[in-house]
Chain A
Amino acid sequence: MNATGQARAARHAPENPGQGRDVFAYLRSGPFGGPTPAVAALLVLMPVALPSSTMATEILIFAMATLACNLLLGYGGLLSFGQAIFFGAGAYLSSLATMHLGAGLLPALLAAVVSGAILAALVGALAVRRTGIYFVMMTLAFNQTAYFIAYTLSDWTGGDNGLLDVPRPPLTLFGAALADLSTATSYYVFTAVLFLLVFIAVRRVIASPFGSTLIAVRENEDRARALGYDTRNFKITAFALSGAVTSLAGALYAMLLNFAPLENIQLSMSENIVIMTVIGGTGSLLGSLLGAGAWVIISDMLAEIWPRWQILTGGALILIVLFLRGGLWGGVESLMRRFSGGGAHHAPDGNPDDAGPPPQPME
């Protein structure tokens, strides 16, 4: 069952033999250590370096969805093609809450987070009853179902036209107005703060008993079960967390565009999220930011020069999968290793903090 030799050879990271992956490496650096300062610096630089703050905001929103997908794929080994369900649901529900119930910004986002978690727990509870390819097919089927539900309920979702005139309420807390988010820059700052909080939270989750067990389930589910873990509960919890964050991203996206299109809940959105995760590098949280950034920037550039740009992004994906195993972050890591003394060997303690475990796409 556990064809260890083959499985190991097939995985990436052969460059550091003798170096075991260790969650203790995360802990030594604490929630504000490791890559967190680098991420904070990037958040400050992004609106300056990029053509617009709107683009920077879009990157952060997709980076959030990518982080959530990475939690499932990179750490839990669960390839979900159902992430758009939660992204779309977050967009619709928060929009409906602001439009029909007059909900403020934070209540609307909270509603998205809670409903995303519940929805993902339900989808997860059914999907994790199967493993491998059947699990993947289940997530795909759920996504199709969700799409057609959204399409059919056009009184609520706007159907094909999407939900128009989604408001972006000002930031208020207990009735006190804190900030008006109507400008692109102020909305960027708000999104960046949320992104940093999500990033720190996901790191903390990975270094928790739950996160370390999730990695164990990915590595060897039979063994995890034999050690006393009800592995399904761990997968379902991972889904709920992933759904909550994805749904938050969806809600922020609707407020960014002032519009919640049907595309949010389409299967192609799920594909895009998975692609960004793989491009960035599974099992690396900083990679998720890189992946989302690369995807948004490349799509934007190519869309200007050629209407059939998606063919080129497909080609870019093929190149990365073929030549950059471990994704963009894997590439950055091996470059850093080359420049830092050239030695291929780390001391076991010098574990790069955020280089999570290697990918193992299906179960």
Chain B
Amino acid sequence: MRDSHILTTENLSLSYGGFRAVDKVNLRVKPRTVHSVIGPNGAGKTSLFHCLTGGRRPTGGRILFKGEEITNRSAHARVGSGMARSFQITSLFQNLTVRENLRLASQGRDGNRSLLFWRSVNARKEHIELADSITERLGLAGKAAVAAGDLSHGQQRLLEVGMALCGKPELLLLDEPTAGMGVDDIPMMTKLIADLGKEYSVMLIEHNMGIVMAVSDTITVMSRGGVLVEGKPEEVRADPRVREAYLGKVA
């Protein structure tokens, strides 16, 4: 029987010595939905994210992507199979232009084929076209020739997500896309993520409760490495355990 979920984890665990940062987590992400993971600091969200992107090797359990086991696959190989990630701390090519950042991101899906050192970068027109269309979508068209490091913080956060999009992923892993964003920029990001949820499968790790409640189809609440509650936004909002432990502090 084939799994209809795009991403599944089975008893996924990650321990540092005796400390269980991720403790037997079972997740099931449905295609073309926004699935958020929330929880207080130290709940294991980032550790979970590292396991999913390939940054850390889990110490137990399995990760299945499109029904295929990828538990021990390297970070760059996961991109080739259709996963892309953004970074919590903005991680751009600061000295390169916005356009070149996005072109490199588009070319990334080629993997080792980019080792060709005797071809022009213009040889793959589709990379440049994709880069330009994403620039347009992010509302950065006027900034294409500007160095990424000279963008405003909000624009850098958008570019961060845009670079993940250039990998033509089926699953987008977004790590706190609004981290450090000003209040004025947040509605733009909220709209972008909600739109993305219709085209891609989005796994979102986020602190901003407003965004999580507005865009998520499913929310998983983590606590001490494990899953506390999982459900639709209204169910999670109404759950007394969540209210008591987490939302109470934020609201």
Contact = CB atoms under 8 A, between A and B. Distances in A.
Given A20-B148, A208-B117, A348-B146, A213 B89 contact: no
B167 A227 contact: yes
A13 B98 CA distance: 18
Most B C-beta atoms less than 10 A away, residue of A11, A18, A208: A208
A233 B117 CA distance: 12
Interface stretch (B22-30, B40-48, B107-115, B196-204): B107-115
Given A209-B121, A226-B79, A20 B95 contact: yes
A209 B118 CA distance: 9
A237 B93 contact: no
Interface residues of B, number: 52
Contacts of A23: 100, 121
A251 B166 CA distance: 45
Nearest to B148: A20
A349 interface: yes
A353 interface: no
A182 interface: no
Nearest to A19: B147
A353 B148 CA distance: 20
Contacts of B124: 209
Interface string A1-32: 11010011001010001111111100100000
Contacts of B146: 18, 20, 348
Most A C-beta atoms less than 10 A away, residue of B84, B95, B98, B108: B95
A211 to B, nearest CB: 7
B118 A208 contact: yes
B91 A20 contact: no
Contacts of B113: 209
A90 interface: no
Contacts of B227: none
Contact of B104 (A7, A11, A208, A212): A212
Contact of B95 (A1, A11, A24, A226): A11
Contacts of A220: 91-94
B215 interface: no
Interface string A211-232: 1110110011011111111110
A4 B75 contact: no
A208 B79 contact: no
A124 interface: no
Given A208-B117, A209-B114, A233-B112, A22 B91 contact: no
11 contacts: A20-B98, A21-B95, A22-B97, A22-B99, A209-B110, A212-B100, A226-B84, A228-B110, A230-B77, A348-B146, A349-B145
**Nearest 9 A-B pairs (CB), nearest first?**
A228-B79, A20-B97, A227-B108, A20-B147, A228-B108, A348-B145, A210-B117, A219-B93, A209-B114
